[in-house]
Structure 1
Amino acid sequence: MPKRKRTSTAKKGWKTRNKISEVQHLGAVKRRKLWDPESMTRAMNTVISKEMGVNKAAEQFDLPRTTLKDRISGRVKHGAKPGPPGFLTPEEDQELVDFLVECCKMGNGKTKREVIDCVKRLMEKKRAKEGLQMIKFNGEGWWYKFMKRHSELSLRPSDPLSHCRFNAVSQSALDHYFVLLRNTLEVNGLMDKPSYIYNMDESGMPLDHKQLKRVALKGIKKVHGPSSGNKAQITILACANAVGTMIPPMVIFKGERLNYEWTRAS
């Protein structure tokens, strides 16, 4: 008579125990996240001042006993976040934020890739100085958490601006311009004649690559990035008066000879 195979009663029991332990583990994780930091501080002060023991304080303030005990003994620093330490210290993190803000103000905002590479090089130097092996650096994950920690920063498209033009713009220069404009209008009797006042401006349409997004403070209207300032472009000269009357624009193309196909629609 063939032997009967042992059914999976023990196997089922093993799976059931595994599921129970898994649920208990998840429950423990959930409970660890629920305690109040202020309650932990009050419980620690109560135990340190010897008003009550660890067990009684944990019960009164609704805290896990081992969690309270670890902080009383110094095994875990109170206020420390769970998980492995960050790549940068809080001081280095804030120093990086200040550096990025200053770079943006100077017209040399940093791109996402530049920031990640900068932190990676800093990590390599720190590990080499301490004689430790370089750990794997997840740039995308670090970037996401860094931007989440510092909501005052944002990634913005930048406008190309040469350094000479950036340095020439100041509040005093703008104020002086409007003083001269008002004096000119008053001397020539044009304050009440807007149809006589024309303004023209040229705008270049660059043919080079699009500017990358750069880190900047939220709320900044313009974010500038470095450029050579001499890229090939098509120039358009527009002119209009103060009541909105416009004259046909002048378009300047790069070339030694005029291509009449460009003037067909004009």
Structure 2
Amino acid sequence: MALQTCRDSLALVLLPGLFITTMPPKRALWSENDLVAAVQAVQCGRLSTYKAAERYKVPRRTIRNHLQTASLKKSLGRKPLLNDEQEAELVSRIMGFAAIGLPVTPLILRRLVFKFCEKNNIKHPFNQQAKVAGKDWFKNFMKRHPDISRRKAQFMNPARAQKLNKFIVDDHFQRLNDVYDKLDLKTHPEKIYNMDEKGCRLTIHHQRTTSKMKKTGKAESTKENRESWYCHACKQDQETAMRMCYKCSKWYHEECVCLSEEDDDDFECPDCS
């Protein structure tokens, strides 16, 4: 570590590219309230830009720029790549994915931002070969939105296992109950799939279903089950292979709708097609 004495300050040179100085700042010594008061005084005609700059200690060029842009927000340096509305929507989507157990990794986020800029013709300094947003953009994005935290996925260790208390478990089931209410799953339980056995793919395309059901001889059945399992085409309850429509959840015999066991695509009944 080397010491470097400046005329008015003491600076420490730690590493190449890292320079720490004790010199007091010379820029943006004014507050946002001073800027608002200066701009309003000029707009009302009470003060000129020279007088407003002298009274509120805001540079005259700064007042003039904010008068032209009609912005009263204090900011230094270049503007962010995405505007406030776009970043707010991005934050909302990140939190939404995290709430359902699909956290967004930094690399995925950088790739999505690059694709978004390319699709919407937003000028950016990102690497065209790597096709990802820069690390500096990601770092500044995290600084602008401190409500987003970074966590490393890991197996549960004893310290985390001790935190699995009643409060955390109750909070989990409360969140799960909110999902049930939001998606109306309590009245439509047929929309719930077992991800381990169904093999659903997390894509935007239609997922294959395995909602075929072969009824066996004397299985436990109630009157409600028999009424919901009967074929809506022939109105009979035969013990043959049946298929459920993924839209209306009605059951049909495969022979009534000309299907076979090899047909694994989503089944759509004649009433819904």
> TM-score normalised by the shorter chain: which range applies?
0.3 to 0.5
Larger proportion of helix: 1
Q: Which has the higher contact order (CA 8 A, sep 6+)?
A: 1
Query: Scaled by the length of structure 1, what TM-score is found?
Result: 0.44
Query: Scaled by the length of structure 2, what TM-score is found?
Result: 0.43
Question: Whose radius of gyration is greater, 1 or 2?
Answer: 1
